[in-house]
């Protein structure tokens, strides 16, 4: 039970602040935060300007990668907000600062908890004594993780009343949720709720929504409702239901915590009913020990690996561990290659799970608590999400890619929060001009838009790509396609994007939301160019790198002097594809370092990580949060722009023939 919830003598349930506890305001002034942490300053909502509260606090800031090497929440809390740095790169929160500060409420600005799905972020608050989180808005996975932990979330107005000494009715904090979520919150989180459900003390009724046209996400959810198998069911946004999960996966960054929670909740001899539907991957930390700043955490990293092996052996889930030091690949890439099919509902412990939506499936990330619950039961609780539709028309310029499209969407629709907590549905005639890897790029970065997920309509290209990878005829794949009904409702609207109007884009350091055209960022000299990650380590991405670098080598050019370029494969299949086409020789001639499959620099754990704050990186990964890939400044761009910039030594877009006027080969 949340300690801020009290019952009055007349039976009402209210939220009341403790007289001996404090409220922490995360402002845009680091010194103001430090003074609060030191006990020198106490602020009130009545005196704080909302505009001064920090926006876009991402989960990397709350718990950077090295904090996530710990799997026990009480250990994670020791370094809460370790990634919040001042302009000089110094920590604002020292070790134990939040834990020892006597706080029970924390307040910030818009889009709290963007980025990774890591549940360690809300855990670092809860296990530091925070039980009420105040923000203007929350990223969807982060909000769900708070709910699963029984954390109350509220508004500025509610906080002002609480600080004035008022008892605020609990229903004001929970009324915006469905009845099931309210019970879960009041029970203290997902596991206490699951116990009540198992005991029959609470039920989740089948939706009774009348016949209506549905979006793709709505149709998939309606088709998998527990207790309604074979029945014709309709749902609408806001409906709550229990839904069968077709599969899922975790990786060595998250599996240990899942294992810990299951043993803690159900005993060390716990069993899961359908291990063949789930998997573990070794992809995130494979190269961490090769990064100097990760050296102090070698023992903790090995503990995570050991606990994942223990979990896999205990449960019998599918095993995608590294063999002889080489990973089969990044979980999202392998999942789309091997087992995410049209119409599937897939859950995994990583925010980029939505990449599978390129296969015409509903896929999104969840926290360790929720994953532990669904892998134990085979189903999960779902509140039907709203959708926003993008009708793509036209074709991209040869110098542009799907990465430029999603950076445009981020800078336009996500910035206005039109994608927030919605499924981004992609369709229209322009989809036919994008191959399956490009479609996966769009859905992969739906989470950067703070969306629930991303989905692409199926077509012949979908069937012809999936069929040989499953050993079935294309007709079998087509039979699974899910399409929106005519007249389906889109709360976020229907937006037409003319692909021919998109130019090469760059997201400036700090957040993928804020983009500019390549020409609009000015003269940016670079030190590192990185191509890889789930977003940009696919087969077509390798085609793009090779196109630019072949052109450069042909005209006597290579990676510019003083620049290091890295290309990392997304999977063994991608590696073999590149070898078969002779790309490896091209990369070698250009002076590129090629890396075996894994997440690598994208998670700050592998070659390509910057070494100092002065370093500038242009990268094809999905996130450029401060410190995520080293202390330097990181710009996001397409594979074409990354490769062209590596040769030019500065951020430039690629145009065929741009290297003709050069002489000698330049290699780093």
Predicted pLDDT at 122: 97
Q: How far is CA 665 from CA 20, 554, 559, 659, in A?
A: 68, 9, 8, 11
How many Å apart are CA 453 and CA 435, to the nearest integer? Answer: 19
Predicted pLDDT at 459: 98
Beta bridge partners of 7: 13
Number of neighbouring beta carbons within 10 Å of residue 302: 13
How many Å apart are CA 155 and CA 133, to the nearest integer? Answer: 9
How many Å apart are CA 511 and CA 496, to the nearest integer? Answer: 25
Taking only the tens place, the pLDDT of each residue in 163-188 is 999 999 999 999 989 888 998 998 89
Nearest Cα to 205, choosing from 227, 224, 186, 189?
A: 227
Q: Over pLDDT 90: what percentage of the chain?
A: 91
Decide yes or no: CATH 3.30.70.100 for domain 204-502. no
Number of neighbouring beta carbons within 10 Å of residue 90: 10
Predicted pLDDT at 445: 98
Q: How far is CA 270 from CA 273, 315, 373, in A?
A: 10, 9, 12
Taking only the tens place, the pLDDT of each residue in 584-620 is 999 999 999 999 999 999 988 899 999 999 999 999 9
* Pairing mode, strands 168-169 and 13-15: antiparallel
Predicted pLDDT at 292: 81
> Is residue 663 over pLDDT 60?
no
Beta bridge partners of 91: 85
* Pairing mode, strands 379-383 and 240-244: antiparallel
Average pLDDT (63-75) is 94
The strands making up 247-251's β-sheet, listed across from edge to edge, are: 318-320, 278-281, 247-251, 345-348, 362-365
How many Å apart are CA 235 and CA 383, to the nearest integer? Answer: 10
How many Å apart are CA 145 and CA 189, to the nearest integer? Answer: 9
How many Å apart are CA 78 and CA 82, to the nearest integer? Answer: 9
> Is residue 326 over pLDDT 60?
yes
Q: Over pLDDT 70: what percentage of the chain?
A: 99
Predicted pLDDT at 661: 61
The strands making up 103-107's β-sheet, listed across from edge to edge, are: 22-25, 103-107, 132-134, 152-154
Token reading at 362 = 């509903």
What kind of fold does domain 505-648 have according to CATH? Aconitase; domain 3 (3.30.499)
Asked if 601 and 621 touch (Cβ cutoff 8 Å), the reply is: yes
Number of neighbouring beta carbons within 10 Å of residue 39: 11
Token reading at 163 = 């600080």
Question: Which residues fall within 8 angstroms of residue 574, CB to CB, at 6 or more apart?
Answer: 329, 333, 537, 538, 539, 542, 597
Asked if 639 and 541 touch (Cβ cutoff 8 Å), the reply is: yes
Predicted pLDDT at 394: 98
Decide: helix, strand or coil at residue 404. Answer: helix
How many Å apart are CA 601 and CA 615, to the nearest integer? Answer: 14
Domain formed by 5-178, architecture: Alpha-Beta Barrel (3.20)
Average pLDDT (648-664) is 83
> Is residue 379 over pLDDT 90?
yes
Q: What's the predicted TM-score (pTM) here?
A: 0.91
> Is residue 69 over pLDDT 60?
yes
> Is residue 291 over pLDDT 90?
no
Taking only the tens place, the pLDDT of each residue in 469-527 is 999 999 999 999 999 999 999 999 999 999 999 999 999 999 999 999 999 999 999 99
CATH 3.30.499.10 in the chain, residues?
A: 204-502, 505-648
Nearest Cα to 325, choosing from 310, 340, 339, 305?
A: 305
Decide: helix, strand or coil at residue 328. Answer: coil
pLDDT confidence bin for 289, thresholds 50/70/90: confident
> Is residue 57 over pLDDT 60?
yes
pLDDT confidence bin for 293, thresholds 50/70/90: confident
Asked if 38 and 166 touch (Cβ cutoff 8 Å), the reply is: no
Cβ density class 619-655: b for 16+ within 10 Å, e for less: bbbbbbbbbbbbbbbbbbbbbbbbbbbbbbbbbbbbe
């Amino acid at each position: 039970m949340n300690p801020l919830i009290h019952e009055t003598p007349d039976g009402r349930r209210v939220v009341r602040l403790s007289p001996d506890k404090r409220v922490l305001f995360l402002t845009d002034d680091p010194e103001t935060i430090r003074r609060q942490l030191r006990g020198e300053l106490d602020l009130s909502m009545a005196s704080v300007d909302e505009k001064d509260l920090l926006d876009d606090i991402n989960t990397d800031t709350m718990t950077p990668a090295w904090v996530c090497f710990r799997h026990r929440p009480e250990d994670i809390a020791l370094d809460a907000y370790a990634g919040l740095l001042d302009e000089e790169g110094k920590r604002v929160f020292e070790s134990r600062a939040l834990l020892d500060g006597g706080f029970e409420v924390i307040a910030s600005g818009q889009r709290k908890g963007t980025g990774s799905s890591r549940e360690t972020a809300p855990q670092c608050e809860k296990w530091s004594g925070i039980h009420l989180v105040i923000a203007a808005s929350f990223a969807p996975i982060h909000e769900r993780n708070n709910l699963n932990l029984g954390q109350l979330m509220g508004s500025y107005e509610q906080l002002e009343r609480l600080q004035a000494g008022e008892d605020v009715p609990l229903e004001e904090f929970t009324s915006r949720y469905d009845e099931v979520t309210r019970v879960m919150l009041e029970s203290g989180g997902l596991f206490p709720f699951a116990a009540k459900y198992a005991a029959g003390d609470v039920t989740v009724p089948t939706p009774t929504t009348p016949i209506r046209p549905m979006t793709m996400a709505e149709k998939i959810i309606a088709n998998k409702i527990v207790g309604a198998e074979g029945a014709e069911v309709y749902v609408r946004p806001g409906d709550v239901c229990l839904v069968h999960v077709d599969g899922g996966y975790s990786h060595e960054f998250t599996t240990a915590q899942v294992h810990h929670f299951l043993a803690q909740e159900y005993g060390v001899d716990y069993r899961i009913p359908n291990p063949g539907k789930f998997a573990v991957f070794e992809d995130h930390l494979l190269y961490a020990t090769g990064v100097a700043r990760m050296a102090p955490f070698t023992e903790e990293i090995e503990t995570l690996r050991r606990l994942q092996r223990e979990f896999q052996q205990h449960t019998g889930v599918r095993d995608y561990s590294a063999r002889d030091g080489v990973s089969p690949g990044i979980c999202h890439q392998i999942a789309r290659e091997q087992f995410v099919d049209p119409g599937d509902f897939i859950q995994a412990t990583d925010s980029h799970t939505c990449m599978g939506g390129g296969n015409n499936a509903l896929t999104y990330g969840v926290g360790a608590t929720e994953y532990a619950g669904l892998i134990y039961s085979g189903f999960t609780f779902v509140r039907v999400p709203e959708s926003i539709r993008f009708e793509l028309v036209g074709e991209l310029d040869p110098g542009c890619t799907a990465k430029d499209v999603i950076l445009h969407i981020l800078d336009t629709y996500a910035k206005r929060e039109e994608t927030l907590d919605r499924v981004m549905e992609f369709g229209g005639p322009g989809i036919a001009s994008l191959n399956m890897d490009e479609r996966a790029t769009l859905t992969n970065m739906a989470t950067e838009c703070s969306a629930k997920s991303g989905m692409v309509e199926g077509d012949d290209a979908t069937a012809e790509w999936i069929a040989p990878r499953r050993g079935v005829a294309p007709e079998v794949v087509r039979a699974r396609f899910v399409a929106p009904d005519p007249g389906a409702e889109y709360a976020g609207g229907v937006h037409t994007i003319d692909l021919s109007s998109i130019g090469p884009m760059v997201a400036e350091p700090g957040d993928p939301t804020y983009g500019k055209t390549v020409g609009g960022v000015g003269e940016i000299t670079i030190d590192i160019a990185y191509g890889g990650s789930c977003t940009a380590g696919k087969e077509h991405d390798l085609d793009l790198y090779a196109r630019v670098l072949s052109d450069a080598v042909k005209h006597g050019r290579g990676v510019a002097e003083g620049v290091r370029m890295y290309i990392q494969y997304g999977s063994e299949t991608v590696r073999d594809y590149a070898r078969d086409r002779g790309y490896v020789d091209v990369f070698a001639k250009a002076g590129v370092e090629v890396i075996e499959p894994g997440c690598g620099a994208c998670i700050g754990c592998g070659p390509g990580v910057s070494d100092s704050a002065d370093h500038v990186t242009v990268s094809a990964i999905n996130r450029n949060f401060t410190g995520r890939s080293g202390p330097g400044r990181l710009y996001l761009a397409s594979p074409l722009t990354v490769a062209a910039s590596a040769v030019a030594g500065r951020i430039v877009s690629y145009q065929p023939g741009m290297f003709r006027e050069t002489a000698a080969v330049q290699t780093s």
